[in-house]
Structure 1
């Protein structure tokens, strides 16, 4: 049921998932996510891991960003542990998988970023490379040591929704990952790759608006209009859904 408060909002409410609890029992999130949503005209609302009232949360939201962060537990996709795997958080994994499955079923407007893209693939039955350099080498760096972002180019399928949103088929991206999609879930289509063949984006064919990118558009969106367009398009779709 629509409340008087919802009726009074002039901008869509965009949920953003946060990192898990840190050593001080605090939930955190890089501010670039919030900034990108605000630039797009949305109102950000942070969603901490462990929230069990998924339907109630989505009932007040108009769109969602599944943010990046630590690695998903390999047991979730039939993978193996690797010495490079870090920040595994069972509370975050379980609550975000439920959230991902719900937004997929509901057709909820969603932008999935890095871990978020991997999460969507796992929720739909796909899996991951546990440590990408073991598969593709290091000619194209997907992060700098020890764990720092780096930029590289990505080629986008010209017929994809992603290309239509970004307005380009060759873009420079901020890469910050050591894992990536291995086997793509049947419901997803690959729409972008790095020069070494790494899957950099997927789309859900039957979903009204779900884009999943392996890179971090929020890191460069303030200076790169093509990256900001991902957030703009999400907010625009959320606005249409709200109205």
Structure 2
């Protein structure tokens, strides 16, 4: 059965899954763990023509991911705390965030299942880093030590502004154009060794990988910055929604 839903006018709207944390949250008298994701993410999806579905970590991650993916047309691996360095064989840096093994396991299962099915995938910040690790790559655990700069995380919930250079003849350039592009950054880790088979599509002037993609027809695009923070430019989300719509047509028998 197709997962796409229709709006009141009958237009098809692909279903996009967005990964989340389970975080402690308070509301009135309640103090509980809850699925958490900033609204900017699902606003970006819905403004781009998709239907956003939140995907908190699940027990029995692989089995649950298989069921969940049967109902999705696209997947976004969102930002958040650091990927466990144990997953890429590194000793833990003192400034690396505490392990979130449940989220790492869940997202790795979703990514593997999505790639097997050909479901379009978009990675954002932590999402890019997790994809890199899944493909056998490694991370710099603290960029101020590796690059001598804190330009990517100024703290206090304030996004740093940086400029990346987008390579021509890439999926990314097809979405936002080649050359300089202004972005919102909030990360202290980044790609060290690139994962096998991934292709770098953007860097900053210090050489840090800022985006990559997988070659071939299947859609996997990942960026180190936070495009959900730029409500004036939804092109990266529009690109994912378009790819998800095409996936629905080709794999789910949804009529164009």
Q: How much does 1:6 deviate?
A: 4.9
- Match for residue 173 of structure 1? 183
Within a 5 Å distance, the mapping from 1:37-186 to structure 2 comes to: 37-50=45-58, 52=61, 53-138=64-149, 141-145=151-155, 148-186=158-196
Contact conserved, 1:20 with 1:89, CA < 8 A, in 2?
no
Counterpart CA distance in 1 for 2:72 and 2:53 is 8
Counterpart CA distance in 1 for 2:39 and 2:141 is 28
Contact conserved, 1:192 with 1:202, CA < 8 A, in 2?
yes
More strand by share: 2
The answer for unaligned runs of 5 or more in structure 1 is: none
Distance 1:147 1:74, change over 3 A: farther
Larger-gyration structure (1/2): 2
Q: How much does 1:20 deviate?
A: 3.2
Name the SS for the 1:60 alignment partner.
Answer: coil
1:234 equivalent to 2:237? Answer no
What TM-score do the two structures reach when normalised by structure 2? 0.87
Q: How much does 1:104 deviate?
A: 2.3
Select the residue among 205, 220, 226 that pairs with 1:210: 220
- Match for residue 14 of structure 1? 16
Contact conserved, 2:5 with 2:13, CA < 8 A, in 1?
no
Contact conserved, 1:187 with 1:206, CA < 8 A, in 2?
no
Cα deviation code 1:50-105 (max 9, x no counterpart): 25311111111111111000001110011121122125311111111111122223
Q: How much does 1:42 deviate?
A: 0.3
Equivalent pairs, count: 236
Counterpart CA distance in 1 for 2:96 and 2:5 is 45
Counterpart CA distance in 2 for 1:130 and 1:147 is 20
Counterpart CA distance in 1 for 2:229 and 2:41 is 8
What TM-score do the two structures reach when normalised by structure 1? 0.91
- Match for residue 209 of structure 2? 199
Q: How much does 1:182 deviate?
A: 0.6
Counterpart CA distance in 2 for 1:82 and 1:147 is 22
Contact conserved, 1:40 with 1:232, CA < 8 A, in 2?
yes
Select the residue among 192, 199, 220 that pairs with 1:189: 199
The answer for unaligned runs of 5 or more in structure 2 is: 26-31, 250-256
Counterpart CA distance in 2 for 1:195 and 1:20 is 36
Counterpart CA distance in 1 for 2:80 and 2:179 is 26
